[in-house]
Every structure is written in structure tokens, then in C-alpha cells.
Amino acid sequence: MQDGTRVLSRSRLRELVREMIDPDLQIQPNGVDLTLRAVERIIDSGAIGFENRDRKISRSVRLEFDEDGWIELEQGIYKVIFNEVVQIPHDCMAIGLPRSSLLRCGVTIETAVWDAGYMGRSEALLLVMNPAGFRMKKNARILQLVFLRLEERIEEDDGYKGTYQLENL
């Protein structure tokens, strides 16, 4: 890391993530555990080009948890939506990493960078690679979000202004 770039620690994290189920459990020494709100199956193709007008986001359908709050997932790809609302200050960015328990079960999560100025209830790609599938419980802690302080604060006008600003709110 360059001089000036730092991983935020526990003392600042509470103000950056709202609607946590249990902050005392979710706030880790170097990040915040995000929890599972919903799972969706991707049902068609997408497209991306250099300009946003060429983008077509794949449609998805929401899957239901059983009466005990569990969902059985076959091998494949899914979209997950988190419970928490993340607000990235203009002096930070964030990176999401799967919890190690997922990896040990043949499951991972892919995310994009959380840009300075982003606010929303984020989504990510869940990849179930285990041929036997995977079970998940609603509100399970599945991703650790790590916040990095930028070397220089960006101007408010230069913060994230993309399509996903305020998503799922």
C-alpha cells in the first residue's frame, strides 16, 4: 500500500454500515461482516460495452427460504443481496472478500470495488462450485467488507454517481 492508505479499524466502522443485525458480532478488527438478505437465480444473458448505453444487466428471480430460514442451492451462480446499507465516505473505498467458511465449502463471492461516495444495499455474485451444492441461512454472515482510507479525499462531485447509487433502498 502507498503511504497514506490505511485499512480502517473497528472504531470507525460502525458509522459506515447501517442496519446491521448485531454490530458487536459483525464488526471485526479490520472489516464488517455483511449478511444475507436475499438470493436470486440469474435467468438470462447480459451485455457490456465501453459505454453504459451498451450495458444489459441479466434478469434474476428471487428464491425463497424455507420455513426455518434455509435455502438449498445447487451448483451454479446466484446473485446475493445484503441486509446492510453501506455508505462509503469520500476519503475511503471498500473491498469485499468471502468469509473463509464459504471457501472451505467450495463457495465464493465475487464483488466489484465499493467506490468513494457509494451508498446502497449492495449485491454480489455467489458462486457455488461444490457439486453437492450448499445450504445458506437467511442473515448468515457471508462477506467481510474491508474499508481503505484513500491517500487523498476526493471531492463530493467526483464520488460515485453510477447506476447503482442508492440500490435496493
Within a domain: residue 54? no
pLDDT at 61: 98
Which CATH number fits the domain that encloses residue 19? 2.70.40.10
Q: What is the pTM of this model?
A: 0.91
Q: What is the DSSP annotation of 6-49?
A: EE--HHHHTTTEES-S-HHHHEETTEEEEEEEEEEEE-S--B--
Range of the domain at 119: 6-37+74-153
Q: Are 135 and 73 in contact, with CB atoms under 8 Å apart?
A: yes
- Look at residue 28 and tell me if it is in a domain: yes
Residues of the chain with pLDDT under 50: 1-2
pLDDT of amino acid 141:
98
Number of structural domains in the chain:
1
Q: What is the pLDDT of residues 31-61, one digit of tens each?
A: 999 999 999 999 999 999 999 899 999 999 9
Q: Does 148 fall in a domain? A: yes
Q: Which residues contact 66 (CB under 8 A, 6 or more apart)?
A: none
In a domain, 52, yes or no: no
Instruction: Please check whether residue 91 lies inside any domain of the structure.
Output: yes
Distance CA 103, CA 8 (A): 24
Residue at 124 is within a domain: yes
For residue 54, list its beta bridge partners. Answer: none
Residue type, 116: A
Let me know if residue 13 belongs to a domain. Answer: yes
Q: Which of 150, 153, 149, 151 is nearest to 8 (CA)?
A: 149
**Residue 3, pLDDT score:** 55
Q: How far apart are CA 13 and CA 120, in angstroms?
A: 16
Q: Is residue 46 part of a domain?
A: no
